[in-house]
Amino acid sequence: MLKETLKIVVDRYDFFIPLIIEHIYISAIAVTIATVIGLSLGIFISEYKITRGPVLGITNIIYTIPSIALLGFMLPLTGVGNLTAIITLILYALLPIIRNTFTGITNISNTVIEAADGMGSTKLQLLTRIKLPLAFPIILSGFRNMVVMTIALAGIASFIGAGGLGVAIYRGISTNNTPMILAGSILIALMAFISDLVLGFCIKLIERKKYFELKLITVVICLIIIVSLAYGTLSNRAEISIASKPATEQFILTEILKIIIEDRTDIDVKIYKGIGATGSMHDGLVKGDFDIYPEYTGTAWAYILKRDLNSCLDASGNITICDREQMKTELQKTYEDDFKLTWVSYYGFANSYGIAVKNEIAKKYNLKTYSDLARVSKNLVFGAEYDFYEREDGYYPLVKKYDFSFKDIMDMDLGLKYKAIESGEVDAVLIYTTDGEISDLDVTVLIDDRKFFHDYFVGNIARKDLIKKYPDLLDILMLLNNLLTEKEMSELNYQVDILKIEDKEVARNFLISKGVLKK
Amino acid sequence: MNQCIRFEEVTKYYSEKKIVDNVSLSIEKGEFVTVLGPSGSGKTTMLKMINGIVQPDSGSIYVYNQDVSKCDIVNLRRRIGYVVQETVLFPHLDIYHNISYVPSLIGISKSKTKRRVRDLVDMLQLDKSMLKRYCDELSGGEKQRIGIARALAASPDIMLMDEPFGALDPETRAILQDELLRIWKELHMTIFFITHDVNEAEKLGSRILVMNEGVLEDKVPSACCELS
Ligand SMILES: Nc1ncnc2c1ncn2[C@@H]1O[C@H](COP(=O)(O)OP(=O)(O)O)[C@@H](O)[C@H]1O
Ligand SMILES: [Mg+2]
């Protein structure tokens, strides 16, 4: 495992190095700002001791809020991306620096301060020439804590779309790629460890009063930070931001979008991978945190429009099941009118729920449709992940509609589902029609002949003002219309999930094979 | 009259307790005043009122006829050399920067400061190589010399010295006392010197005061007592 992790770092150094630089960039900005604010507040509360209680109290409370929760609070205020991450990191970083500045200054022996005062130091001279230098070792040890903590915490910040090495971890989690998770984590730990060593060494230098060496190290650290700041601000010049939910399929689709836009225009595209569930994706897009993201029609219908599948009107005014085109038309209208968003192009496939059975079972009972399955279901075991048994469009309504009566049902993890059907532990299993694993298994996907499941066609939702700003974009996005079949998507997912090929590469190769992109 | 320091009916309390009790005193330019008294009698408190670190509860203190509580205290302090009890040196500064602390506050040029430090090193018979070192590597006697050099650095006319030689062995103490007397004569300064050692007070002082539970009295010279 360690070997694979090392290999992934070496092979994909061009993926990791920008992440490392961005990690430094985010941490450095947070640390710098937190130091300025924290030092000022620390000095303030040591001069005006009455303010000490409230200031330390508030920072203490912030410090105890779990980081995921704090990121969650900040999200509606400042949106997805690096800004929210940096603000959150600053909030956490404040406590150690304020507390140590305060402790450092108040711990200075009174006689030293009185001596300097009695010799005619002004208040400012007393602060800069006596108090701060004497408190410096304690302040620096607070700084050391803060830096290590910030570097570690910055890894979590990719959950709200910030960059840095957390991206690798998050990517690894969503594509079930353990070496990737390990690589991200180890690199973060390594960065924190190195900072800890260097700052510890600085504290030693101060204790031994080796100020020259200290200055040298400070200059080197400043250089590293300046370089990553420069890199960070330059690379942050993206003009279009594209976001994705945390799923392999969405990663590939956003890479496809980026490649095609950057190929046909001079626009820079930045991808925020794995932002969150439908709700936060929608809010972020409406607010303009990003400009485009891929969404599923059925999901938008149910979660954003809050409509039932059986809520459309037919020609004579009766309530019926919505047909595909009707759904798309109504979605487009509501999105344009209510949200100033537009569904630009549909990739041509749907990622829906489906039921798959082992080939030998399909052959044995001659199964093609769900109704076929219902006939023999009392001989079979059915498996699905936990939440399918809870959903309103889940197991029990499905059983009712088709009159299934499985011999047994099992709930299992997403990842274990496919292993279970391979080993024969279950006979029929719930799938997503584009899951990468399907193309690797001896299974038959049955037909939902009585239309129980929604259609989950994948399209791109874009902000209308983006299209207004770049009218050419419409044609470019239309290049993606009907580009992929369900089978092709499942193959691409397979390449990323199972073969562990980088999503960017999978996307590029696919576009080349389709002739959309020249080699 | 060349009046330098004047106390006018000065009283100071610390939580109900009278520490300095209605002290009136006038010190003239060029006097070497030694203040004797047991520990806790209020000597340090009195000294700290001269450079405004402690404010009196009633009465006034004048330095060069300026009311300490009303004048520009930072500037006044820079003209008063201050040797703190047990001589605290600044631990984060090397000896050179300890000695040149007050000149650096005033903003005196580097070259001028350098010359001044060199003169002081000669005057107090310090070792030049010491200047780059820090105070935790020095002996008690060396620290005292540096403390005095630091107080003298901005060429003050007044020196406030709070038991500067209290912690020294008798031999070093005698040497430093002699040097202080020499410097006092050379520079024509006014010195306010606290000690609890009678011999030291008599050896150094051109005038000896005694503090007792906050009350200040002139000491009758021992020579006259022996006569009677
Ligand atoms: N800042 C202070 N707060 C309260 N009490 C003090 C303070 N400074 C000195 N005292 C008290 O005042 C008394 C005289 O102190 P001090 O002037 O230092 O005496 P001396 O220098 O003669 O030994 C002592 O009892 C001491 O405890
Ligand atoms: Mg005293």
Contact (CB<8Å) B77/A209: no
Same domain, B109 and B65: no
Domain end position, chosen among B134, B156, B178: B156
- Interatomic CA distance for residues A6 and A16, integer angstroms: 12
Residue A322's CATH number: 3.40.190.10
CB atoms within 10 A of CB A431: 23
The residue whose CA has the least distance to atom 25 of ligand 1 is B40
Specify if A37 maps to a domain: yes
Residue nearest atom 16 in ligand 1 by C-alpha distance: B42
Query: What ipTM goes with this model?
Result: 0.90
- Looking at the fold, whether A195 and A56 belong to one and the same domain comes out as yes
Task: Please state the rounded mean pLDDT for residues B77-94.
Answer: 88
pLDDT in tens, A434-482: 888 877 788 888 988 888 887 789 999 999 999 988 888 999 999 999 9
Confidence of residue A235 (pLDDT cuts 50, 70, 90): low
Average pLDDT on A80-109 reads 91
State residue A158's pLDDT score. 79
User: Which has more confidence, A302 or A381?
Assistant: A381
* B117 & B140 share domain: yes
pLDDT tens digit sequence for A304-349 = 888 876 677 777 777 777 777 888 898 999 999 999 999 999 999 9
Shortest alpha-carbon distance between residue A112 and chain B (Å): 6
pLDDT in tens, A124-164: 999 999 999 999 999 999 999 999 999 999 998 877 778 88
A37, A103: one domain? yes
**Whole-number Å distance between alpha carbons of A91 and A63:** 8
Decide if B51 and A116 are in contact by the 8 Å CB cutoff. no
Closest ligand to C-alpha of residue B18 is 1
Note whether A216 and A253 are same-domain residues.
no
In a domain, A518, yes or no: no
Q: Which of B14, B18, B83, B160 to mutate to test the pocket of ligand 1 (most atoms within 8 A of CB)?
A: B14
pLDDT at position A238: 58
Chain A residues lying within 8 Å of B53, measured CB to CB: 114, 117-118
Better-predicted residue by pLDDT, A277 or A238: A277
Q: Does A397 touch chain B (CB under 8 A)?
A: no
- Give tens-digit pLDDT for A396-418: 889 998 999 999 998 877 667 78
**Rounded Cα–Cα distance for residues A120 and B2 (Å):** 24
Domain end point (choices A422, A445, A468): A445
Please check whether residues A324 and A358 belong to one and the same domain.
Answer: no
Average pLDDT, integer, range B197-209 = 93
> Which of A203, A234, A265 represents a domain boundary (last residue)?
A234
Give the per-residue pLDDT at A226.
87
pLDDT one-digit tens code per residue, A198-214: 999 998 888 888 888 88
Instruction: Report the share of chain A in percent with pLDDT over 90.
Output: 49
pLDDT tens-digit readout, B32-48: 999 999 999 999 999 99
CB neighbour list of residue A140: distance below 8 Å, 6 or more residues apart: A199, A202, A203, A206
- Nearest CB to A120 within list B77, B86, B150: B77
Q: What sections of chain B are H helices per DSSP?
A: 43-50, 73-78, 95-99, 101-106, 110-123, 140-152, 170-187, 198-204, 222-227
Q: At B228, is the pLDDT very low, low, confident or very high (cuts 50, 70, 90)?
A: very low
Q: Which residues pair with B14 in a beta bridge?
A: B17
pLDDT at A173: 80
Answer yes or no: do B31 and B69 share one domain.
Answer: yes
The Å distance, Cα B40 to ligand 1 centre, comes to 6
Q: Are residues A191 and A338 in the same domain?
A: no
Total domains, chain B: 2
How confident is the model at residue A113, as a pLDDT? 94
Tell me: pLDDT of B221 over 70.
no
CATH of the domain at A31: 1.10.3720.10
According to the model, what pLDDT value does residue A230 have? 82
B165 shares a domain with B57: yes
Cα(B164)–Cα(A55) distance, rounded to whole angstroms? 41
Q: What is the distance in angstroms between the Cα of B222 and the nearest Cα belonging to chain A?
A: 34
My answer on whether B201 and B163 are in the same domain is yes
**Predicted confidence (pLDDT) per residue in A53-87, tens digit:** 999 999 999 888 888 888 888 877 887 778 888 99
pLDDT band at B5 (very low <50, low <70, confident <90, very high): very high
Q: What is the CATH number of the domain that holds B62?
A: 3.40.50.300
Minimal CA separation from A136 to chain B, in Å: 10
The predicted structure's pLDDT at residue A206: 85
**A11 and A140 co-located in one domain:** yes
A50 and A31 in one domain?
A: yes
Indicate whether A167 pLDDT > 50. Answer: yes
Q: Taking residues A221-238, report their average pLDDT.
A: 76
Name every residue in B having a CB less than 8 A away from some CB of A: 48, 51, 53, 74-80, 82, 84-86, 88, 90-92, 94, 101-102, 104-106, 134, 150, 160
B171 occurs within a structural domain: yes
Q: Which of residues A173, A208, A234 is at a domain's end? A: A234
Q: Do B88 and A115 touch (CB under 8 A)?
A: yes
**CATH code for the domain of A358:** 3.40.190.120
Nearest Cα residue in chain A from B49: A118
CA–CA distances in Å: residue B41 to residues B18, B56, B210 = 10, 16, 10
For the cut 50, the answer to whether the pLDDT of residue B136 exceeds it is: yes
Final residue in a domain of this structure, among B110, B135, B156: B156
- The pLDDT assigned to B105 comes to 94
Residue A126 lies in a domain: yes
In a shared domain, residues A43 and A143 = yes
- Tell me: do B98 and B147 sit in the same domain: yes
Residue at which a domain ends, from B126, B156, B186: B156
Predicted structure pTM score: 0.72
Task: For chain B, report the end-to-end CA distance as a whole number of angstroms.
Answer: 32
Query: Within a domain: residue A151?
Result: yes
Contact B88/A130, CB-based, under 8 Å? no
**B104-134: burial string, b at 16+ Cβ within 10 Å, e else:** bbeeeeeeebeebbeebbebbebeeebbeeb
Half-sphere exposure of A419 (CA within 13 A, CB side): 5
Confidence check: pLDDT of A500 > 80: yes
Same domain for A368 and A433, yes or no, is: yes
Strands in A279-433 per DSSP E: 292-296, 312-313, 319-320, 341-350, 353-358, 381-384, 408-411, 428-432
- Judge if the beta carbon of residue B43 lies within 6 A of ligand 1: yes
**A16 and A103 co-located in one domain:** yes
Nearest-CA neighbor of B160 among B38, B40, B49, B59? B49
Enclosing domain of residue B150: 91-156
> Closest ligand to B41 CA?
1
Q: Which of A112, A120, A133 has its CB closest to that of B88?
A: A112
pLDDT for the residue numbered B227: 39
Question: Please, what is the average pLDDT of chain A?
Answer: 88
Cα B9 to middle of ligand 2, angstroms? 21
The answer, for A112 touching chain B at a CB cutoff of 8 Å, is yes
Minimal CA separation from B77 to chain A, in Å: 5
User: Is residue A345 domain-shared with residue A358, that is, in the same domain?
Assistant: no
Q: Residue A357's domain spans which residues?
A: 353-445
B84 assigned to some structural domain: no
In a domain, A453, yes or no: no
Pair A486, A388 in one domain: no
Same domain, B71 and B181: yes
CA A377 from centre of chain: 40
Q: Rounded mean pLDDT of B48-61? A: 94
Instruction: Please state the domain count of chain A.
Output: 3
